[in-house]
Structure formats: C-alpha cells, structure tokens
Structure 1
Amino acid sequence: MPLTAPGYLRLLMRGLLAGLIAGLLAGAFAYLIGEPHINAAIAIEEATTPATGEQPLVSRDVQSGPGLLLATGLYGVALGGILATAYTILRRHLHTGSDTTAALGLTAAALTGIVLVPYLKYPPNPPAVGDPATINQRTAAYLAALTLGLVAVWAAVLAARTQTHPWARATAATGAFLTVVTIAHTLLPTFDEVPADFPATLLWNFRISSLGTQTTLWLTLGLAFAGLLAHLNRHTHTPQPATTG
C-alpha cells in the first residue's frame, strides 16, 4: 500500500530530528578535532598573504563556534529530510523486511557514494591550499565525482541482484562498484595544488578530521533515523511494508 500523507509526514519529522542530532554531533566533532587544524592553516595563510586591513563580517570566534554548529545543524536537517524522502520512495524496493536494515543500508550507500568516493579522488584542502583560478573546474570535477559515486553504488546494487548466492552477490556488487569508481577516477582531472612547503602532517590531519566529521554525520543520521523508525513502529503498530523485486 502506498504511504499516506500523514505517514510520510511522520517519517519526515523523524528524518529532520535525526538530521538535527547528527548535524550537532558532527559540528561538535569538527569543533574539537578539526578546528585546531583549520586555525593552523589560517595562520600559515595569513603569514604568506599581504594584509588588506579589511575586517571579516563574522569574526573567526563566531565562525568556529556558534556558526559552525548552526551550519552543521542545518546541513544535518536537510540531509535528514532527503533521507526520509528517499526512504519513502525506495523502501518497497529494498530486499529486506527490516526497517532498521533498510534505513542503515540507505545511509551506508549515501556515505559511500556521496562522501567516500569523491574523497578518494578529491580530498578536502585546508586554507592556504588551492589555486583560486581553478575553483570552478575543481567544483565541477567534485560534483562529477559525487554523481559517479552514486552511479557506482547503483551499479553495485543492480549487479548484486543478478545473483542468488550470497558470495556471488557480494562479488558482483564489488566488481561493479570498483569498475565504475576506477573508470571515474581515471577520467576525472587531477588537481595537485598543495604548496611544496605546506606541512604534510597538517594537511593529513585536516583531511582525516574532515572525513571524521562526515562519517560522524552520516553514521549518526542512520542510527538515529533507524532508532526513531523503530520507536514509531512500536507505537503505531504499523506493519512492515511488503518488499518487491
């Protein structure tokens, strides 16, 4: 049976709440783990760039504290709404009778396609790294990597459904995923704009903390949404949706 408007609204509200929780937790992670590396990179940038005398519209203290939590909170809410909508559309096509498995599977697929695949090709750079003249090309290339990451996940799902044995399904999915990712990473342009004198340890720590923030966001989103779905099912006694091929 198709989901009713009140049913979708209940799912959406839980997605938004899960997104808020995930966004705030990711913001706290970014503040504690990532901000020290950003501050160090900013210090390097200021030391190598002539001062203009202009004051920023928002102070660095506000940016790294309340501003950071506000940004990650709103970002998490947006992702929660998207996850709830995707769950509503795709739930009946997922080969599982468990809402928890379905929610976590969708989140894992999003983390892989939206975060991990682009990260491997275009890891984030701190301030003082990157040529402003190539910002448009880098943005377009990153969006292409993100799109192809989702295509790789989709190809893996389709390949898995061509097999019946668990090991054959896993092998087919892995092969399809790696094929798309390898082709994408080979065809997409490479940007090597890290200054030779930029501290390698700082660059590495910044990139790891950025990945940690994204991982915290998506894992918390999936777990919170799955937990809220389980709570909803216990209180509404809603039967599990039938799965279709």
Structure 2
Amino acid sequence: MMGQLLLRGMLVGILAGLLAFGFARVFGEPQVARAVALEGEGGHHHGEAEAGEHDHDAAHDPGAGISRGTQAGIGLLTGTTVYGVALGGVLALVFAGVQGRLSALRPRATVALLALGGFVALVLVPGLKYPANPPAVGSPETIGIRTATFFMMLLFSVGAMILGVMIARHLTAAHGAWTAWLVGIGAYVVLVALVMLMMPTLDEVSGSGFPAGTLWEFRLASLAIRAVVWAVLGIGFGIAAERVLARGNHQARA
C-alpha cells in the first residue's frame, strides 16, 4: 500500500506542477519580465565599474546565455513539475506514517491538514522572514548568505511545527483535542516568532530604486504559485489516498 500511496502522491504532484506552471505563466512571468526590464534599463546598477564586473562574470557564466523564452517555458515547466513531484512524494510518505496515529480523521482531512501544515512551515513562515526577490534585486555576492539563512529559517520552522504537534499529542488525553491543538499551534507561533527576531535581517531592497508595487506583485505571485501546488496536493492526494485505503480495506475484508 505504501507504494500505491507514493505513486499517487507523485502523480498528483505532476498535476500540481502543471497547474502551477500555467498559473506562473499568467501571473508570475509578467512580474519577472518587468524586473528583468528594469535591470536592463540600469535601474539597479551600482556604478560603471561594478557593472563591468557583472558583465564580465555573465560572459563566463554558462547559464547566462539561456534565453528568457527558454527560462519561461521549458525551464519553468521543469522546475514546477519537479517541485510538485518531490512534494507529492514527501506528502505521501508523511501521510502513510501518521494516518490513524495523530487523530481519527478521515484520510482526506488528514491530507488537507498535512498540506496546510507543510505550506505554513515550508513556504509561508520562511517567506515572511526572507521573501522572494526578483532578478533585479540582490547582489550576487550575498547569494550564499541569503540561501543559508533562508534554509536555516525553514529548518527552524519545520522543527517548531514538529514540536508543536508533539505538545498537542501529549496534552490531548488530559485536556482534550481542541485545547491541546490550540496550545500546540500557540507554541509553534511563539517559537517561530522568537527565531525570526533572532535571525539576521537581509535588506537589499532599500535604496535600490526598485518599484515597491512591482516588488509586491512579484512576491505575491511567487507565494501564490507555491500555494497552488500545495492546494492541489492537499485536495488531489486526499481523494487518491482515501480511495487507496478504501480499496485496501475492502480487499482485507474479502
């Protein structure tokens, strides 16, 4: 049954990736195109010498020759599909491990809660501290520190959510499910808030001259694209998992 759940999770992930690709083409790519146009106009240059260095680096960068059409087409499709398949597989494995152990919810409800928790822990919370930036924002020299701090925030968020779930499970027998889960959620919120305050702030937008409206639309589109993936997984895999388990129970009784 594990193999069937994993297969269906990955298949739903393909669907999620395709839908996210369509959404990104309509709502995300226009924001990227505007950012690239602004960068090309020189709105984000820091001086002629530095611009010359960037041009020299780009000339030796194998990825610099990839056209915008390729990036917005096959590149984007590959990225969203791989993202969807990977998350679909992980969601299926987590579901197989927790179904019937955390609560008596139906499989569809369990998957929906897992997808919601995954979106909050992996996307929303890290994105609140370190939101996505368009191509024209940010220095190449800070890519390493930006990537490291983002993944540190992501790991702290996941760890805090696991701890919150453990607290809720521990309190359920004595205080009831409703109170226990409220305490668990509260613990998660407090922990991630403390981590956000302790983590360094990386602000490369102030003074860059990048239009605030374009930046907001880009970040909103980036968040929405990933929300589409998680929503499709939460709904689609929930339906698929319920059918797999129902078929397995029917065969067991037979």
- The alignment's TM-score, normalised by the length of structure 1, stands at 0.88
Matched with 2:130 is: 122
1:36 aligns to 2:30 (yes or no): yes
Q: 1:207 aligns with which of 209, 219, 226?
A: 219
Matched with 1:193 is: 204
What are the equivalent positions in structure 2 for 1:111-150 lying under 5 Å apart?
A: 111-150=119-158
Counting helix residues as a fraction of each chain, which structure ranks higher?
Answer: 2
1:82 aligns to 2:90 (yes or no): yes
Alpha-carbon distance, 1:195 to partner: 4.7
Alpha-carbon distance, 1:142 to partner: 0.4
Instruction: Evaluate the alpha carbon distance shift between residue 92 and residue 230 of structure 1 in structure 2; reply closer, same or farther with a 3 A threshold.
Output: closer
Q: Which 5+ residue runs of structure 1 have no aligned equivalent?
A: 1-6, 241-245
Q: Which amino acid aligns with 1:194?
A: V
* Distance (whole Å) between structure 2 residues aligned to residue 44 and residue 114 of structure 1: 30
Alpha-carbon distance, 1:71 to partner: 1.6
Cα deviation per residue 1:188-229 (whole Å; 9 max; x = unaligned)? 110010152110000000000011001111111111111111
Matched with 1:182 is: 193
Matched with 1:10 is: 4
- The alignment's TM-score, normalised by the length of structure 2, stands at 0.85
Q: Which runs of 4+ in 1 moved over 6 A?
A: none
For residue 134 of structure 2, give the secondary structure of its aligned residue in structure 1.
Answer: coil
* Distance (whole Å) between structure 1 residues aligned to residue 163 and residue 38 of structure 2: 43
Identity rate, percent? 36
Tell me if structure 2 keeps the 8 A contact 1:107–1:221: yes
Alpha-carbon distance, 1:96 to partner: 2.1
Matched with 1:4 is: none
* Distance (whole Å) between structure 1 residues aligned to residue 135 and residue 166 of structure 2: 40
Q: Which amino acid aligns with 2:15?
A: I
* Distance (whole Å) between structure 2 residues aligned to residue 174 and residue 74 of structure 1: 30
- Count how many residue pairs are aligned between Structure 1 and Structure 2: 234
Q: Which amino acid aligns with 2:211?
A: P
Aligned residues: CA RMSD: 2.1
For residue 65 of structure 1, give the secondary structure of its aligned residue in structure 2.
Answer: helix
Matched with 2:117 is: 109
1:225 aligns to 2:237 (yes or no): yes
* Distance (whole Å) between structure 2 residues aligned to residue 232 and residue 8 of structure 1: 10
Q: Which 5+ residue runs of structure 2 have no aligned equivalent?
A: 46-50
